């Protein structure tokens, strides 16, 4: 791999106008006072990296649930699914991945299946790492039907800084594991709701890579995987 490939990552088209705005402001700051201009350069570079969209190597295998987001698992708990999706009121394991402003924010489908329903809900902008963010924050919920008829929910949740959730898909679309389905601007969280009886293969505090890290195996009935900090 070339050094330039390590440093320079592809950027999602959604980011070009923001980088352009930052660049114009940077030019004005240089005109006003050079030290301010260099601050603008740093912020412009950060904006470019925020919208980066690197290529990912998606694991292949029937039944694998892949992380939809980069970041850290902030919580694994058992809760009812999002009411706006109209799913059965049965407890499901929810894995929450918190994305900081330094993570890649392009989200990818955790599984292959059909997007049966997508529901956008306006809301607040409290800290996305808090449990109440699942109910009170702006969010976009996706219901994905698997080939065997089971269902998985994936919810994009806006955070303190995030102000817009952008979907790239629509109801009825056929998704495949690792497909880009949306983006959240500037800090947020993504929840995955596993079908009943499916245990996570990850642990709280673990770092996730969207499109690469395996979260669960739908074909296996396993107990939650233990973990230890070292």
Q: Domain residue spans in the chain?
A: 3-51, 64-217
Residue 65 to residue 98: CA distance in whole angstroms: 17
pLDDT at site 227: 65
Strands 139-145 and 151-158: antiparallel
Picking from 218, 83, 105, the residue whose alpha carbon sits closest to that of residue 166 is 105
Token duo for residue 103: 């993570």
Q: How does DSSP classify residue 137?
A: B
How would you label 192-205 residue by residue, b for 16+ Cβ within 10 Å and e otherwise?
A: bbbbeebebbbeee
Q: Is 188 a catalytic residue?
A: yes
Cα-based torsion angle of the residue sequence 215, 178, 135, 114 in order, rounded to the nearest 10 degrees = -110
Token duo for residue 203: 């642990």
pLDDT at site 176: 95
pLDDT beyond 90 at 65: yes
| Annotated catalytic residue within 67, 74, 134, 188 | 188
What percentage of the chain carries pLDDT values higher than 70? 83
Mean pLDDT of 162-174: 87
pLDDT at site 1: 45
Picking from 116, 210, 103, 107, the residue whose alpha carbon sits closest to that of residue 167 is 107
For residues 123 and 104, is the Cβ–Cβ distance under 8 A? no
User: Confidence band (pLDDT; 50, 70, 90) for 4?
Assistant: very low
Residue 150 to residue 18: CA distance in whole angstroms: 39
- CATH homologous superfamily of 64-217 equals Glucose Permease (Domain IIA) (2.70.70.10)
User: Is residue 85 packed enough to be buried (19+ CB in 10 Å), middle (13-18) or exposed (0-12)?
Assistant: middle
Residue 108: phi and psi, rounded to 5, are -125, 150
pTM score, whole prediction? 0.85
Picking from 110, 66, 121, 101, the residue whose alpha carbon sits closest to that of residue 184 is 101
**Least-confidence region, from 24-28, 109-113, 140-144, 212-216:** 24-28
Cβ partners under 8 Å of residue 11, min gap 6: 19, 48, 51, 52, 53
């Amino acid at each position: 791999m070339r050094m330039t490939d390590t440093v320079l990552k592809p950027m999602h088209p959604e980011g070009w106008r923001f980088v352009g705005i930052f660049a114009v402001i940077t030019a004005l700051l240089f005109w006003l006072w050079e030290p301010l201009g260099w601050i603008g350069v740093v912020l412009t570079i950060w904006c470019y990296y925020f919208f980066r969209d690197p290529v990912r190597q998606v694991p292949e295998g029937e039944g694998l649930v892949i992380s939809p987001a980069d970041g850290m698992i902030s919580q694994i708990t058992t809760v009812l699914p999002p009411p706006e999706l109209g799913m059965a009121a049965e407890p499901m394991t929810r894995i929450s991945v918190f994305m900081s402003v330094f993570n890649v924010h392009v989200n990818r489908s955790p599984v292959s299946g059909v997007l049966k329903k997508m529901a956008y809900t306006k809301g607040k902008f409290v800290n996305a790492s808090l449990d109440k963010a699942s109910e009170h924050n702006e969010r976009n919920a996706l219901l994905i039907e698997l080939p065997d008829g089971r269902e998985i929910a994936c919810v994009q949740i806006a955070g303190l800084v995030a102000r817009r959730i952008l979907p790239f898909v629509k109801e009825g679309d056929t998704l495949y594991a690792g497909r880009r389905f949306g983006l959240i601007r500037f800090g947020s969280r993504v929840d995955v709701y596993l079908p009943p009886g499916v245990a996570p293969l990850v642990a709280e505090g673990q770092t996730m890579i969207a499109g690469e890290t395996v979260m669960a195996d739908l074909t296996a009935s396993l107990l939650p995987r233990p973990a230890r900090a070292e």
